């Protein structure tokens, strides 16, 4: 299994991800069981947001 997986995270107000509100990069590693967590600031409490993590490499195989 790959030791480190680079990810891009994105937050938007539409499910189509047409306009990104904020984004960043994070790395998922074996030390955290390839999980990741980010803190996003400045969001409005009554607004609905959508988020996703995108793998930035193409050589991963899941099972």
Average pLDDT over residues 40-57: 91
Question: What are the CA-CA distances from residue 40 to residues 20, 23, 27, 56 (Å)?
Answer: 13, 9, 16, 20
Structure tokens at 47: 């607004």
Q: Which domains does the chain have, with CATH numbers?
A: 4-55 (2.60.40.380)
pLDDT beyond 90 at 34: no
Task: Give rounded-to-5 percent helix, strand, coil for the chain.
Answer: 5, 40, 55
Confidence of residue 60 (pLDDT cuts 50, 70, 90): low
pTM of the model: 0.79
Indicate the DSSP class of residue 32: G
């Amino acid at each position: 299994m790959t030791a480190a997986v680079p990810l891009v995270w994105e937050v938007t107000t539409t499910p189509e991800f047409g306009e990104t509100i904020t984004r960043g990069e994070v790395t998922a590693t074996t030390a955290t069981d390839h999980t990741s967590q980010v803190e996003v600031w400045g969001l409005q409490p009554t607004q609905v947001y959508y988020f996703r993590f995108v793998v930035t490499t193409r050589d991963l195989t899941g099972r």
